Chains A and B, each alone.
Chain A
Amino acid sequence: MIPSLRKAAAGVCAVAFSLTVTASATIPVEAADPGVSANEIILGGTHPFSGPASAYGNIGKGIGAYFDYVNDHGGVNGRKIKWIDKDDGYSPPQAVQLVHQLVEQEKVFAIFDTLGTAVNTAIRPYLNQQGVPQLYVATGATTWGKDYKQYPWTIGWQPDYQSEAILYAQDVLREHPKAKIGVIYQNDDYGEDMNNGLKRGLGSHQNMIVKMASYETSDPNVSSQIATLKASGADTLMIFATPKFAIQSMVATAQQGWHPTIYLNNVSNAIPYMRAAAKAGGAQFLNGIVTTIYLKDPANHARYANDPGMKLYEEIMSKYIPSGDKEDGNYLYGVSIAYTMVDVLKRAGKDLTRKKVMDIAANLVEKDNPLVYPGVVIRTSPNNRFPITQMISAKWLGSDWSPSGILVDTRPMTMAAK
């Protein structure tokens, strides 16, 4: 190099070096976590607003409504929540890209209520690697509570599917010990989880299951599967299906003149679905169907007319989602899970860090969630990461679900699963 050029290069290097040193000297030793500023907390999530699972998009909207409510009432320890919710179309690659964007561009404090087992499985390694909390995922797959040692930044919320199926198994063993069980299930991880739970719950009596029939979400209806189950001689039917197919199952059962004892899964027990089934299959066929409940049903006006939690929910819906259907349980789920999120943030206090929030989430006792079934306590501890494990059995009588028995805590059975 020419001497003058060399000197210039050396000069530039020297300046650059000193600038870097000076700059690093002024960086505070402990940087605040991203997504938290003096007056704002940024939370990010993805939901399916398009594509086949779009009904669940309303969960994200319910969350937004609750956050708006909280912001209008002083926020969380003086900070307002900014909720960034993106459409992942229920596609894992799309969700992965959006989560990268949320973490790296929007610099969210935490990822909250991402929906779907596949989606959450896909984003979990990245988030755990980056130390970003993956809070209260909207799926009941057992892995969120089970695999926390490997993925400490991830936690679920709703009762896991296996626990629910265990409850049904326990009910059958108690009430119908000689039953012959037929199962109709969705052929995906949801159905598989439910089946595994059922089998575990039955234990040595697994041979009570005489026939299992699956359906695909691409099937137009399930009359063929119901015919198969009827022909197998089963007198008890477990419905592990998403709403549309659950309704079809109940209707087909009625139409084919089959009257088994029916156990209906939680995700499809909302009253509007039961009404649809009654309309199509005849109301009398539904009496006696058993399900489990852990949330309040916004369509059950008889039971919750004077319930303060329900009143709050309706107030929030009227103000922040006026055109939304209040009876849509997805909104209610969103508000309920957002309540837990805000609860955790509040307990963390003014000095908000990701680690602190995770620690609180893993050691939480929340008794005042306004929308969980009365008596349900949201509880976690260092070796139990299933926040909600209590459910109550209910029977359909006439026009609504009648709780029978007591709240059952499946925690012991769930923990034994490890």
Chain B
Amino acid sequence: MHELTQQIVSGLATGSIYASVALALVLIYRAMGIINFAQGEMAMFSTYIAWQLVQFGVPVWLAFGATLIIAFAGGVAIERIVIRPVERANQLTLVIVSLGLFIALNGLAGWIWGYIVKSPPPPFPPTAITVGGVAFSAQDVGIIAVSLVTLGLISLFFQKTKLGLAMRAAALYPEQSRVLGIRVGWMLALGWGLAAVVGATAGIMIAPVVFLDPNMMQSIIVYAFAAAVLGGIESPIGAVVGGLILGVAINLLGTYVEAIGNELRLAAALAIIVLVLVVRPSGLFGKPSVQRV
């Protein structure tokens, strides 16, 4: 029983990692209808920037703030320079471009900072907390808390602010939005910028747990996809809930189901992706849309 609770709590902790990255994925999807395969690498790159700033002697929280601003600028720049020329192109082109971005960012991080595992500046102290025999760390709590706060801010932004409304309009009805005077192109750039910030936040929080190296996001991104799909690729709430559920489910399946064991955890996550996409593509929190043929 004790172990079960521990596995669940650990699962929530890991799940919050997936949730935070899934949030960024959802943001891009809402803005543009594409899945950004490079999201993890953008987050990783931002985390390295934070690390580098701290190495230069910048105080930790100042470094984080600066990193978020740089990430925002980077996201906007990527949208304007890389995505805009191929905005109207077909799905395949967009997929390939995001893959190209993935490859380039990964290689660039490796070239600049090398592949040795680094210890990143932790936003939360790594103190261990034990409640009723079940252990977790302040970091785990912090990740969940920040993810929820981010979720709250995003929801507020999209529902209650004019800018948020404009962004949603631009994504859903680009032609009509132009007629109304909304600068659709810049809305998309803004969407990318925001997603980059959310991704950078996720990276900064996650890195102390998984440790910083250029490939740190590659396993996470797959689980983040699964979380986003499970929760509903258009729903920020879904991303968070999906992430938490996924984290717990994977832990429990991996620990207690012999057939899956540790080896097929990833496969289990991916089976979930496929299952959800086939049975209920809009996920737990999305609105089902009917498409014939």
Contact = CB atoms under 8 A, between A and B. Distances in A.
- The answer to A–B direct touch (Cβ < 8 A) is yes
Interface of A: 50, 52, 54-55, 57-58, 187, 213-221, 223-225, 227-228, 230-231, 243-244, 247-248, 251, 254-257, 272-273, 275-276, 279-282, 325, 328, 330
Contact of A223 (B10, B220, B222, B265): B10
Contacts, number: 119
Interface stretch (B1-9, B88-96, B150-158): B1-9
Closest 5 CB pairs of A and B: A55-B115, A276-B119, A231-B3, A256-B135, A54-B115
A281 B130 CA distance: 14
Contacts of B174: none
B262 A216 contact: yes
A228 B115 CA distance: 30
Interface string B1-31: 0110011001101100110000000000000
B118 A276 contact: yes
Given A216-B265, A227-B3, A255-B126, A244 B210 contact: yes
Interface in B12-63: 13-14, 17-18
Given A224-B7, A282-B126, A328-B116, A52 B262 contact: no
A281 B126 contact: yes
A395 B230 CA distance: 46
Contacts of A255: 126, 128, 135-137
Contacts of B210: 220-221, 244, 248
B214 A257 contact: no
Q: Chain B: interface secondary structure?
A: helix
A58 B222 CA distance: 28
Contact of B213 (A55, A213, A220, A227): A55
15 contacts: A54-B110, A55-B116, A215-B262, A216-B262, A217-B219, A219-B219, A219-B262, A220-B18, A221-B210, A223-B13, A225-B262, A243-B117, A248-B211, A280-B119, A325-B116
B51 to A, nearest CB: 12
A54 B113 CA distance: 12
A236 to B, nearest CB: 19
B266 interface: yes
B262 A221 contact: no
Given A231-B2, A282-B126, A247 B7 contact: no
B8 to A, nearest CB: 10
Nearest to A53: B115
A244 B116 contact: no
B288 interface: no
Given A216-B263, A280-B126, A227 B137 contact: no
A251 B117 CA distance: 15
Nearest to B6: A227
Nearest to B208: A280
B128 A257 contact: yes
B116 A228 contact: no
Nearest to B114: A325
A220 B110 contact: no
Contact of B119 (A223, A275, A282): A275
Nearest to A285: B128
A220 B220 contact: yes
A254 B139 CA distance: 14
Given A224-B14, A247-B211, 5 more contacts: A54-B115, A55-B116, A227-B6, A228-B7, A276-B211
Nearest to B11: A224
A256 B10 CA distance: 10
A187 B126 contact: no
Interface residues of B, number: 46
A218 B266 contact: yes
A221 B117 contact: no
B72 interface: no
B254 A224 contact: yes
A196 B265 CA distance: 24
B258 to A, nearest CB: 13
Given A255-B128, A280-B122, A325-B116, A228 B213 contact: no
Contacts of A227: 3, 6-7, 10, 255
A219 B10 contact: no
Contacts of B126: 251, 255, 279-282
A221 B14 contact: yes
B222 A218 contact: yes
Contacts of A221: 14, 17, 209-210
Contacts of A57: 115
A368 to B, nearest CB: 29
Contacts of A272: 116, 119
Given A221-B209, A224-B255, A216 B266 contact: yes
A254 B126 CA distance: 10
B251 interface: yes
Contacts of A216: 262-263, 265-266
A244 B211 contact: yes
A55 B118 CA distance: 12
A214 B262 contact: yes
A216 B222 CA distance: 14
A328 B130 CA distance: 36
B262 A50 contact: no
A228 B14 contact: no
Given A58-B114, A216-B265, A328-B114, A50 B107 contact: yes
A179 to B, nearest CB: 21
A256 B209 CA distance: 14
B192 interface: no
A110 B11 CA distance: 50
B67 to A, nearest CB: 19
B223 interface: yes
A223 B255 CA distance: 11
B262 A244 contact: no
A52 B17 CA distance: 21
B96 to A, nearest CB: 19
A221 B209 CA distance: 8
Nearest to A328: B116
Contacts of B222: 218
A244 B262 CA distance: 18
Contact of B6 (A256, A273, A325): A256
Given A187-B263, A214-B262, A256-B6, A244 B117 contact: yes
